[in-house]
Chains A and B, each alone.
Chain A
């Protein structure tokens, strides 16, 4: 019930392309869905987040799409750049504990 499933495990995209990472959840008590970006040796950095009452949120090149009925959400990185090469984690925060359950992570490599 607490699991968040993330795919793909790794992704290689050409510079200027679109990177898409998908997540799915089961627990309906989740009410906040952030994405984190992590570079080697660093802590995760909050990238963008969405609440289930909206279907899409865009911040610059980053967009979250959210499908409440399917319990799925995705991150789209437009015009991907080599500097975007990092590990991306989706997560879900529950209404009670306010703790995060993380997906397994996606290692993104953007080739120049």
Chain B
């Protein structure tokens, strides 16, 4: 299984600011995904980030709010832009297909 790290592990941010979350994998992977887990809730897919192409966003998520970069096969970033308290969630990256592994998550609190 892949070893996935995320930075930061947690952050407290002010309304209107932006935060960039990093996801690093210890091996090259094709498929990488970003999910959101709101407090006490299940996981919802934000977007699929594949190297060399634009990220594909799910309904309800837009690039202006959640821009994603995927510069290579081991790294991706998710930015949460112009944050509001409703963005307070855990953001998780995952990699793989058929066996999908998750990072530890970034716990974001927006005041």
* Contact of A46 with B43 at beta-carbon distance under 8 Å, contacts A98-B97, A99-B33 already known: no
Contact of B48 among A36, A43, A99, A104 (CB under 8 A): A99
**Residue A21 at the B interface, CB < 8 A?**
no
In the complex the two chains form, what is the Cα distance from A104 to B38 in whole Å?
12
The answer on a CB contact under 8 Å between B31 and A43 is: no
The answer on a CB contact under 8 Å between B42 and A46 is: no
The answer on a CB contact under 8 Å between B98 and A43 is: no
Q: Which residues of A contact B100 (CB under 8 A)?
A: 34, 46, 93, 100
Q: Which residues of A contact B94 (CB under 8 A)?
A: 100
* Contact of A42 with B105 at beta-carbon distance under 8 Å, contacts A93-B98, A97-B48 already known: yes
Nearest chain B CB to A73 CB, angstrom units: 16
In the complex the two chains form, what is the Cα distance from A42 to B99 in whole Å?
18
In the complex the two chains form, what is the Cα distance from A99 to B20 in whole Å?
22
**Residue B45 at the A interface, CB < 8 A?**
yes
The residue in chain A whose Cβ has the minimal distance to the Cβ of B33 is A99
The residue in chain A whose Cβ has the minimal distance to the Cβ of B43 is A102
Q: Which residues of A contact B99 (CB under 8 A)?
A: 34, 46, 49
Quick one: which of B44, B99, B100, B105 has the most chain A CB within 10 A?
A: B100
* Contact of A102 with B42 at beta-carbon distance under 8 Å, contacts A43-B103, A46-B101 already known: yes
Q: Which residues of A contact B48 (CB under 8 A)?
A: 97-99
Quick one: CB contact mask for A39-52 with B, threshold 8 Å, 1 for yes?
00111111001000
Q: Which residues of A contact B4 (CB under 8 A)?
A: 43
**Residue B67 at the A interface, CB < 8 A?**
no
The residue in chain A whose Cβ has the minimal distance to the Cβ of B44 is A102
Contact of B102 among A32, A45, A99, A103 (CB under 8 A): A45
The residue in chain A whose Cβ has the minimal distance to the Cβ of B94 is A100
The answer on a CB contact under 8 Å between B42 and A43 is: no
In the complex the two chains form, what is the Cα distance from A69 to B100 in whole Å?
25
Quick one: CB contact mask for A89-103 with B, threshold 8 Å, 1 for yes?
100010001111111
